[in-house]
Amino acid sequence: MTSALIASSPLLSRPGAVAATGPDAGVAWHYGDPTAEQRALEAGAAVVDQSHLGVVTVTGPDRLTWLNSLTSQEVATLAAGASTELMILNPQGRIEHVAAAVDDGETAWLITETAEGLASFLDRMRFMLRVEVADATADWAAIGEPSAERGADAGVTWVDPWPHVGPGGTSYTDAASAEPAERPWRLTLVPRAELDAEIDVRVAAGARLAGTWASEALRIAAHRPRSATEIDETTLPHELDWLRTAVHLHKGCYRGQETVAKVHNVGRPPRRLTMLHLDGSGADLPALGAAIALASDGKPAGRVTSVARHHELGPIALAVLKRSTDPRAPLHVEGEDGPIDAAQEIIVNAEGFSADRPPKPGPTTKGLLMGKGCAADGGDM
């Protein structure tokens, strides 16, 4: 969540509103009927307050080529109105910032959960280029809508590319598993002072107001990672199957690129994202960060990163596990009232290979596959 000082959403004064906690603090968890809200959102007939997200703007004629040199995504020729997703990595290829990105022809809009830190980093990297960076969170708010279309006169709108593999991307999805469920989703930016009125327009048109309980449950069911929950200080994009939408493997150098290339071409990610189906016989849900162990011998296996109660699937979670964990192994998740049984639904495969991993390199190709020669801003391994 952005660290900008933002007051709680005015929508928390709506009838039935229950405030969310944790990474969604500041907006509503639900408005009195989370199951009905979730069904409406899945049916494309709901709207979700996402005003706790941060907004960073980048202006100036060099903005896209400059962002292209710093981030994991190819954005140098991003068309006006087109949506993408990008990352700022550290020199060792670990994720530092994630942003939903859209350019309107004059401004690059970055919707992020780390607005203050992202704006600070970008501002330090401007040097003599014709770019200006601002944390615009105090002026703009995001509204979540279940649509994969930008729509006419929608203003600044980011359409989520997940789960489709974008140009230059790849997937670590298990070959024997089904692709992630579709989750049509967009974020529309509105002036923060007009958030209440913009929500009213949508409600008057037939949308139901839904909370983050609904949006998080559908996100988890779609295997969609989130920076506020799935990332820690050591996370690689490969571990979360995030090369689908946020990494371009064939663009030029950027900070962390060598690690991305090494892991994809000749290495394997040390951990893997999985979805858990939790025993629903009790009312207990695990906390974020709850420890996960093998049911057979109690050996540590990973941690819970996201959790929700889905209206059809019951209690579900996303978890980051050791890649070597047997995909068929029953698990125990730490709960307040004792261990909770969990079964795995595989997302990132246990072999650690992407769908288009290159063949084993020979002596003449090894350097190329490992990203040799890249010295992006900030240095690389």
In this prediction, residue 323 carries a pLDDT of 97
Decide which of 162, 197, 230 is a domain's last residue.
230
In this prediction, residue 367 carries a pLDDT of 52
Residues 81 and 222 in one domain: yes
Closest CA to 118 of 58, 64, 76: 58
- Kindly state whether residue 374 falls inside one of the protein's structural domains: no
pLDDT (tens digit, 9 = 90+) per residue, 243-285? 999 999 999 899 999 999 999 999 999 999 999 999 988 888 9
**CB distance 318 to 344 below 8 Å:** no
Q: What percent of the chain has pLDDT over 70?
A: 92
Residues 304 and 181 in one domain: no
Decide which of 210, 230, 250 is a domain's last residue.
230
Q: Is the pLDDT of residue 371 over 70?
A: no
C-alpha to C-alpha distances, 120 to 8, 74, 139, 304, nearest whole angstrom: 23, 22, 18, 30
Out of 145-154, 163-172, 245-254, least confident range: 145-154
Q: Is the pLDDT of residue 4 over 80?
A: no
- Kindly state whether residue 56 falls inside one of the protein's structural domains: yes
Number of structural domains found in the chain: 2
**CB distance 320 to 272 below 8 Å:** yes
- Cβ burial of 101 (10 Å; 0-12, 13-18, 19+) is buried
At 103, list the tokens.
């350019």
Q: Is the pLDDT of residue 341 over 60?
A: yes
Residues 180 and 295 in one domain: no
H-assigned helices in the chain: 34-42, 63-70, 115-124, 195-204, 212-221, 227-230, 257-265, 366-369
- Kindly state whether residue 170 falls inside one of the protein's structural domains: yes
CATH classification at residue 340: 2.40.30.110
Q: Is the pLDDT of residue 149 over 70?
A: yes
Residues 44 and 167 in one domain: yes
Domain that holds residue 305: 271-346
Decide which of 230, 251, 286 is a domain's last residue.
230
Residues 285 and 219 in one domain: no
Residues 153 and 103 in one domain: yes
Start-to-end CA span in the chain (Å): 29
CA dist., res. 108 & res. 58, Å (int):
5
Residues 140 and 280 in one domain: no
In this prediction, residue 5 carries a pLDDT of 53
Residues 284 and 193 in one domain: no
In this prediction, residue 378 carries a pLDDT of 34
Q: What is the pTM of this model?
A: 0.93
- Kindly state whether residue 131 falls inside one of the protein's structural domains: yes
